[in-house]
Chains A and B, each alone.
Chain A
Amino acid sequence: MTNPRRQLCWRSVFVTFAVCTGTMASGEEDRTVEEKETNNKKRTKGAIATAWLTFYNIAMTAGWLVLAVVMVRYYLQKGTHKGLYKNIARTLKFSQTFALLEVGHCAIGIVRTSVIVTGVQVCSRIFMVWFITNSIRQIQNEESVILFVVVWTITEITRYSFYTFNLLNHLPYFIKWARYNMFIVMYPLGVIGELLTIHAALPYVRRSGMYSLRLPNKYNVSFDYYYFLIIVMLSYIPLFPQLYFHMLRQRRRVLHGEIVVEKDE
């Protein structure tokens, strides 16, 4: 992915041309020609992947910027957050659901992150958007909803512009600084917003019995959304510190060049 590969790729282009014009003959050279052809294919694939990722990250930055602008304009016009959710609902759902593609990126290998980590993060966001705020109307005007939406917007704009600039090889220091410092405050605030929202939703869930399956039924299984939400809230306790300290370690490594020895399990 660095210089030696680029050098090799130029040679591979030449070699491919030479092969096409029939100047290569011997068997041993054919073998290296094959290698270089594969490298050429890899290079083309790498270029397409980079182009797609750049487009994707720019699109996501734009999406979340639109969301930010709508929220600011609404607040300036109306002076209150009541009724704001209805305005941003569609953009929020669209932007957050689109993020599922990121799991795909990790799965096919064009982004070097663990599929599971990305999957968990994206799923928790999708869960909040579709299964809490979208389905439970009564909590849509809560302050906690605005809190986590604002936090997500700031975080996502920073993150996607960081990726975009990285791909274009022109990363301004302030974006890098923002990406690796703002989470320190944003992350806990976001968690508070999410937890308060789920907590506010609990009485409505209990009363309506939504998404629940009671016995007796022919599948001989039951599911209680109310208790499920309680378990989800409890799961923040082990999961949040792990993610938070992971980001802190990354921050130390990137910003201060510290080599942190990871436990190898």
Chain B
Amino acid sequence: MDTLALEATQPKKAQNGAPVPGTSTPAKRKPAKKIKKAVVFFEVEILDAKTKDKLCFLDKYCDSFLVFHVFVSDPQWYPARQSIRLDPKGKSLKDEDVLQYLPVGTTATFYFRDLGAQISWVTVFLTEYAGPLLIYLMFYFRVPFIYASKYDFTTSKHWVVHLACMCHSFHYVKRLLETLFVHRFSHGTMPLRNIFKNCTYYWGFAAWMAYYINHPLYTPPIYGEQQIRLALIVFLFCQIGNFSIHIALRNLRPPGSKTRKIPYPTKNPFTWIFLLVSCPNYTYELGSWLGFTLMTQCLPVAAFTLVGFIQMTVWAKGKHRSYLKEFRDYPTLRSPILPFIL
């Protein structure tokens, strides 16, 4: 990075008096006859977080600026992969942070860190959900080279296999539509590496599950119709619940904003679980997969449910902790993911 051009994300305001030439001492000016905000000039330098090289230095910066991004002549360093922070090992500053309100005084030192290639959340979600949808259908229709050739393009004789295909496909179609129309994402991007990791997980497990459920030698559940009916009820209940929670969370946040509020139960009975749980979307997700496991009576599905549960518990605990940190009046009855247990 040899040439840097600094550009603020907000238009500059006109200076109130004659600029002090050559020096970098900040000048504070009191408001004159009209009511004007006091203009404070900042000195800003940006260092590389690892090598501590000085990347950029500015003097006479106006206080109304937001934290900027360092625009480089090489388009490789786009804003989403830049992390500007006050401490080399600290948290990244947000786009909305105002220079004046940061604990920097008038001489500000920022550290720059390259976050690596980034990819948008929407892209990752769409890819990782489209995979299982298509892969499962390939196994369901018994595309050649998966099972013995005499089974090519045949259909299973068990009706639970058809039901399972409908449930699985419905689940992933729902996820795709939610990604496109319902979710409001806090972060725009994530590291590029994640898409490979996530897709391996989702696609791999989908293939493993689908292979056994659609196998010619598949054994239907022991308790037959009763087991399947119960499982279907649990599955549908949790799917509706999960969707209700996503809608409730969406409605907390006006379009285009990134505000954070405590979610509360609404008129929808499926959201009443907010009284007991911080992340009921994960609770309902676990319920759906338990239903699917019961419906198919397939060990790989149980394994997928278990791994998903562990991951979602980790996320739920993190979210619960950040809720507690951010809101003083956070309801104390709530648990992260399982009421009273976890």
Does residue A219 face the partner (Cβ distance < 8 Å to B)? yes
Q: Return chain B residues, CB-CB under 8 Å to A220.
A: 212-213, 215, 218-219, 296-300
Number of contacting residues on A, CB 8 A?
A: 8
Of A217, A219, A220, most B-chain CB atoms within 10 Å:
A220
Q: Are B222 and A221 in contact (CB under 8 A)?
A: no
Does residue A216 face the partner (Cβ distance < 8 Å to B)? yes
Does residue B217 face the partner (Cβ distance < 8 Å to A)? yes
Q: Return chain A residues, CB-CB under 8 Å to B298.
A: 219-221
Does residue A218 face the partner (Cβ distance < 8 Å to B)? yes
Q: Are B297 and A215 in contact (CB under 8 A)?
A: no
Q: Which of A198-222 contact B (CB under 8 A)?
A: 215-222
Alpha-carbon distance between A129 and B303 when the two chains are bound, in angstroms: 27
Q: Are A215 and B217 in contact (CB under 8 A)?
A: yes
Q: Which of A218-235 contact B (CB under 8 A)?
A: 218-222
Q: Return chain A residues, CB-CB under 8 Å to B213.
A: 220
Q: Are B217 and A216 in contact (CB under 8 A)?
A: yes
Interface string of B185-222 (1 = CB under 8 A from A): 00000000000000000000000000011010111001
Alpha-carbon distance between A218 and B212 when the two chains are bound, in angstroms: 11
Alpha-carbon distance between A222 and B213 when the two chains are bound, in angstroms: 12
Q: Are A216 and B212 in contact (CB under 8 A)?
A: no
Q: Return chain A residues, CB-CB under 8 Å to B299.
A: 219-221
Number of contacting residues on B, CB 8 A?
A: 12
Q: Return chain B residues, CB-CB under 8 Å to A221.
A: 212, 298-300
Which of B215, B297, B300 is within 8 Å of A218, CB to CB? B297
* CB of A231, distance to nearest CB on chain B (Å): 14
* CB of A28, distance to nearest CB on chain B (Å): 29
Alpha-carbon distance between A32 and B302 when the two chains are bound, in angstroms: 52
* CB of B182, distance to nearest CB on chain A (Å): 33
Beyond A221-B212, A221-B299, is A216–B222 a contact (Cβ under 8 Å)? Answer: no
- Using a Cβ cutoff of 8 Å, how many contacts connect chains A and B? 29
* CB of B187, distance to nearest CB on chain A (Å): 20
Alpha-carbon distance between A222 and B300 when the two chains are bound, in angstroms: 10
Q: Return chain A residues, CB-CB under 8 Å to B212.
A: 215, 220-222
Alpha-carbon distance between A250 and B212 when the two chains are bound, in angstroms: 45
Q: Return chain B residues, CB-CB under 8 Å to A217.
A: 219
* CB of A259, distance to nearest CB on chain B (Å): 15
Alpha-carbon distance between A44 and B87 when the two chains are bound, in angstroms: 37
* CB of B51, distance to nearest CB on chain A (Å): 11
Q: Which of A90-134 contact B (CB under 8 A)?
A: none
* CB of B305, distance to nearest CB on chain A (Å): 14
Of B213, B222, B296, B299, most A-chain CB atoms within 10 Å:
B299
Q: Return chain A residues, CB-CB under 8 Å to B217.
A: 215-216
* CB of A81, distance to nearest CB on chain B (Å): 42
Alpha-carbon distance between A148 and B178 when the two chains are bound, in angstroms: 55
Q: Return chain B residues, CB-CB under 8 Å to A219.
A: 297-299
Alpha-carbon distance between A77 and B136 when the two chains are bound, in angstroms: 63
Alpha-carbon distance between A222 and B215 when the two chains are bound, in angstroms: 11
In the complex, which residue of chain B has the Cβ closest to the Cβ of A214? B217
* CB of A251, distance to nearest CB on chain B (Å): 26
* CB of B184, distance to nearest CB on chain A (Å): 30
Q: Are B218 and A218 in contact (CB under 8 A)?
A: no
In the complex, which residue of chain A has the Cβ closest to the Cβ of B218? A220
Alpha-carbon distance between A219 and B297 when the two chains are bound, in angstroms: 6
In the complex, which residue of chain A has the Cβ closest to the Cβ of B50? A264
Q: Are A218 and B296 in contact (CB under 8 A)?
A: no
* CB of A167, distance to nearest CB on chain B (Å): 33
In the complex, which residue of chain B has the Cβ closest to the Cβ of A217? B219
Q: Return chain A residues, CB-CB under 8 Å to B219.
A: 216-218, 220
* CB of B151, distance to nearest CB on chain A (Å): 13
Q: Are B300 and A216 in contact (CB under 8 A)?
A: no
In the complex, which residue of chain B has the Cβ closest to the Cβ of A219? B299
* CB of B112, distance to nearest CB on chain A (Å): 16
* CB of A80, distance to nearest CB on chain B (Å): 46
Q: Are B222 and A215 in contact (CB under 8 A)?
A: no
Q: Return chain A residues, CB-CB under 8 Å to B297.
A: 218-220
In the complex, which residue of chain A has the Cβ closest to the Cβ of B213? A220
In the complex, which residue of chain B has the Cβ closest to the Cβ of A216? B217
Alpha-carbon distance between A199 and B212 when the two chains are bound, in angstroms: 29
* CB of A134, distance to nearest CB on chain B (Å): 26
In the complex, which residue of chain A has the Cβ closest to the Cβ of B222? A218
* CB of A6, distance to nearest CB on chain B (Å): 30
- Contacts A216-B219, A221-B212 aside, 11 further interface pairs with beta carbons under 8 A come to A215-B212, A215-B215, A215-B217, A215-B218, A217-B219, A218-B219, A219-B298, A220-B212, A220-B213, A220-B299, A221-B298
Sample of 26 A–B contacts (CB below 8 Å):
A215-B212, A215-B217, A215-B218, A216-B217, A216-B218, A216-B219, A217-B219, A218-B219, A218-B222, A218-B297, A219-B297, A219-B298, A219-B299, A220-B212, A220-B213, A220-B215, A220-B218, A220-B219, A220-B296, A220-B297, A220-B298, A220-B300, A221-B212, A221-B298, A221-B300, A222-B212
Query: Residues of A with Cβ closer than 8 Å to B?
Result: 215-222
Which are the 3 A-B pairs with shortest beta-carbon distances?
A221-B299, A216-B217, A220-B298
